Amino acid sequence: MLTVDFTKFPINPGDRVLDLGCGAGRHAFEAYRRGARVVAADLDVKELPPVGGMFAAMRETGEAGPPAAAAAVSADATRLPFPDGAFDVIIAAEILEHIPDDTAAMAEIARVLRPGGTVAVTVPAWLPERICWALSREYHEVPGGHVRIFTRAELGAKLAAAGLTPTGGHHAHGLHSAYWWLKCAVGVHDDAHPAVRAYHRLLVWDIMSKPALTRLSEAALNPLIGKSLVIYARKAETTKPVTPNGFAVPPTRAHSPRGVAGGSGGVVPPGNLGGSPGGSGGVVPPGNLGGSPGGSGGVVPPGEHSDLAGSGAGE
């Protein structure tokens, strides 16, 4: 289930793509399938081995091939371990609502995006999210949960302040809002409730079968109660200092992850994602963030980071 619409947000073979807060990897996999050189990044190291495994499986089955390359790394959205202008495209799906210092995260996104590059940012839409908060404290008052509700105007203004000019947007997952309202009403973690199970089966059927009735229904519901708000933005071709909170931030070097045994931090070179020429997919080992060939797999530990999380719409 994709939140970003790739007909509105094209990714081309060879593009350097960062999926920030990749979660289970849904957008990273689609970018890899389209021939991009992908870095899937998440603070939660438990998410990374399955993502790296799927990258490897996609390459083995021919679902992704040259020039596509991929790697999974642990990264803090407010201190990204990449140099300025490292990526052509960045996707940040359902993460900014989790991060206390969201302006710092947006400044980092702008820093590592090349001039002229594009970004897709998705967050829970205001009305569906407000209803969820009203129905259940358990929905958001959990460690790593949602700390804010964005309006479209607020998100657009914060992106613009970071140097990312909004170019368009839309809502997505109109059928999913009622599912989350139902879960909030009966208990967020009560997946065994008959009504929740029945609605979940409907959503799975819709995702797998894409029947015309539900596709048309969701298209009609999206502008009204779409669960996710999607904003597309572009970084100016010429750069100037980013000014979050009114203070100019000069260009900086990549932030090296702290607490990595044997690892010095650094960058995954676009041509060597996954630790082999051409990139075979996988997880970047702690001592191989610099791209040395021959990496055997592993995870880059997060060290000391603030929260970065991201997965499906509404999570």
The 10s digit of each residue's pLDDT in 206-252 is: 999 999 999 999 999 999 999 999 999 999 987 555 555 544 444 44
170 inside domain = yes
294 inside domain = no
Instruction: Specify whether the CB–CB gap between 24 and 56 falls below 8 A.
Output: no
192 inside domain = no
From CA 12, how far away is CA 140, in angstroms rounded?
Answer: 36
Q: What is the pLDDT confidence band of residue 144, given thresholds at 50, 70 and 90?
A: confident
Residue-level pLDDT at 254:
56
6 inside domain = no
From CA 196, how far away is CA 191, in angstroms rounded?
Answer: 6
Q: What is the pLDDT confidence band of residue 143, given thresholds at 50, 70 and 90?
A: confident
64 inside domain = yes
Residue-level pLDDT at 265:
32
Residue-level pLDDT at 11:
96
User: 17 forms bridges with which residues in the sheet?
Assistant: 38, 89
Highest mean pLDDT among 3-7, 206-210, 282-286: 3-7
Q: How many domains does the chain have?
A: 1
Residue-level pLDDT at 141:
83
138 inside domain = yes
Residue-level pLDDT at 240:
57
Region of 250 (left: φ > 0; alpha: ψ -120 to 50; beta: rest) is: beta
Residue-level pLDDT at 202:
93
203 inside domain = no
Please write the tens of the pLDDT for every residue from 29-57: 999 999 999 999 999 999 899 999 999 99
Could you write out the three-class secondary structure of the chain? CCCCCCCCCCCCCCCEEEEECCCCCHHHHHHHHCCCEEEEECCCHHHHHHHHHHHHHHHHCCCCCCCCEEEEECCECCECCCCCCCEEEEEEECCHHHCCCHHHHHHHHHHHEEEEEEEEEEEECHHHHHHHHHHCCCCCCCCCCCCCCCCHHHHHHHHHHCCEEEEEEEEECCCHHHHHHHHHHHCCCCCCCHHHHHHHHHHHHHHHHCCHHHHHHHHHHHHHHCCEEEEEEEECCCCCCECHHHCCECCCCCCCCCCCCCCCCCCCCHHHHHHCCCCCCCECCHHHCCCCCCCCCCCCCCCCCCCCCCCCCCC
Residue 157 pLDDT > 90: yes
Q: What is the pLDDT confidence band of residue 140, given thresholds at 50, 70 and 90?
A: confident
Of 129, 121, 128, 133, nearest in space to 94 by CA: 121
User: 233-261 as b/e, with b when 16 or more CB fall inside 10 Å?
Assistant: bbbeeebeebebeeeebeeeebbebeebe
Sheet holding 16-20, edge to edge: 69-73, 37-41, 16-20, 87-93, 113-124, 228-235, 164-172
* Boundaries of domain holding 71: 16-174+226-288
Residue 253 pLDDT > 60: no
Residue 281 pLDDT > 90: no
Please write the tens of the pLDDT for every residue from 162-194: 999 999 999 999 999 999 999 999 998 899 999
276 inside domain = yes
Residue 30, domain CATH: 3.40.50.150
Please write the tens of the pLDDT for every residue from 268-277: 444 444 433 3
